[in-house]
A and B are shown apart, each in its own frame.
Chain A
Amino acid sequence: MSWTLEDLLLFSPQVYWRLFALENDAVWPAQPVVLAAAALLALTFIWGRRPSGRWLGPVLGAAWLWTGWQFVALRYGTVNWVAPTLAWGFYAEAALLVGLGLSGRLVFVQQERGAWPGIGLVAAVLIWPVLAPLDGRPWREAEIIALAPDPTAVATLGLLALAERSRWTALLCIAPVLWLAVSTLTLVTMGAWQGWAVLAALLAGLAAWVAPLVRKPG
Chain B
Amino acid sequence: MRVTRRAVLVGAGAALAAPALGASAGEALSKRIPATGEPVPAVGIGSWITFNVGDDPLLRAECRAVMAAFFEAGGGMVDSSPMYGSSQAVIGDALATLGHPAGLFSADKVWIDAADGPAQIAETTRRWGVQRFDLLQVHNLIDWEANLDTLEAMKAAGRLRYTGVTTSHGRRHEELEEVMRSRPPDFVQLTYNIVDREVERRLLPLALEQGIAVICNRPFQRGRLPDWLAGHPLPGWASEIGVSTWPQFLLKFIISHPAVTAAIPATRRVDHVRENKSAAFGPMPDAAMRRRMAEHVESL
- Chain B residue, CB-CB nearest to A22: B56
Contact across chains for B56 and A18 when beta carbons are under 8 A apart: yes
Which residues does chain B contribute within 8 Å of A18, judged by CB atoms?
A: 56, 58-59
Which residues does chain A contribute within 8 Å of B237, judged by CB atoms?
A: none
Kindly state whether residue B287 has any CB partner on chain A within 8 Å.
no
Chain B residues 69 to 108 lying within 8 A of chain A, measured CB to CB, are 83-86
- Chain B residue, CB-CB nearest to A9: B49
Which residues does chain B contribute within 8 Å of A15, judged by CB atoms?
A: 52-54, 56, 59
**Known contacts A18-B56, A78-B54, A79-B54, A11 near B171 by CB under 8 Å:** no
Kindly state whether residue B291 has any CB partner on chain A within 8 Å.
no
Kindly state whether residue A213 has any CB partner on chain B within 8 Å.
no
Kindly state whether residue A19 has any CB partner on chain B within 8 Å.
yes
Contact across chains for A10 and B54 when beta carbons are under 8 A apart: no
Chain A residues 1 to 54 lying within 8 A of chain B, measured CB to CB, are 1-3, 6-7, 9-12, 14-15, 18-19, 22
Query: Which of B85, B169, B191 makes the CB contact (< 8 A) with A81?
Result: B85
Kindly state whether residue B38 has any CB partner on chain A within 8 Å.
no
The minimal Cβ–Cβ distance linking B66 to chain A, given in whole angstroms, is 13
Kindly state whether residue B239 has any CB partner on chain A within 8 Å.
no
Query: Which of A1, A6, A10 makes the CB contact (< 8 A) with B52?
Result: A10
Kindly state whether residue A80 has any CB partner on chain B within 8 Å.
yes
Which residues does chain A contribute within 8 Å of B84, judged by CB atoms?
A: 10
Contact across chains for A78 and B55 when beta carbons are under 8 A apart: yes
The minimal Cβ–Cβ distance linking A141 to chain B, given in whole angstroms, is 12
Kindly state whether residue B170 has any CB partner on chain A within 8 Å.
yes
Instruction: Give the interface residue-count category, chain B.
Output: 20 to 34
**Known contacts A1-B171, A78-B86, A12 near B54 by CB under 8 Å:** no
Encoded as 1 (CB less than 8 Å from any A CB) or 0, chain B from 248 to 262 comes to 000000000000000
Kindly state whether residue B24 has any CB partner on chain A within 8 Å.
no
Kindly state whether residue B196 has any CB partner on chain A within 8 Å.
yes
- Chain A residue, CB-CB nearest to B55: A78
Which residues does chain B contribute within 8 Å of A22, judged by CB atoms?
A: 55-56
Which residues does chain A contribute within 8 Å of B170, judged by CB atoms?
A: 1
Contact across chains for A7 and B169 when beta carbons are under 8 A apart: yes
Query: Which of A6, A9, A79 makes the CB contact (< 8 A) with B86?
Result: A79
Which residues does chain B contribute within 8 Å of A19, judged by CB atoms?
A: 54, 56
**Known contacts A1-B169, A1-B170, A1-B196, A11 near B56 by CB under 8 Å:** no
Sampled A-B contacts (15; CB under 8 Å): A1-B171, A7-B169, A10-B52, A10-B85, A11-B49, A12-B52, A18-B58, A18-B59, A19-B54, A75-B54, A78-B54, A78-B55, A79-B52, A79-B53, A79-B54
Q: When A and B form their complex, which 8 residue pairs have the shortest distance between CB atoms, in order from nearest?
A: A78-B54, A1-B170, A1-B169, A79-B54, A79-B85, A10-B85, A11-B52, A79-B52
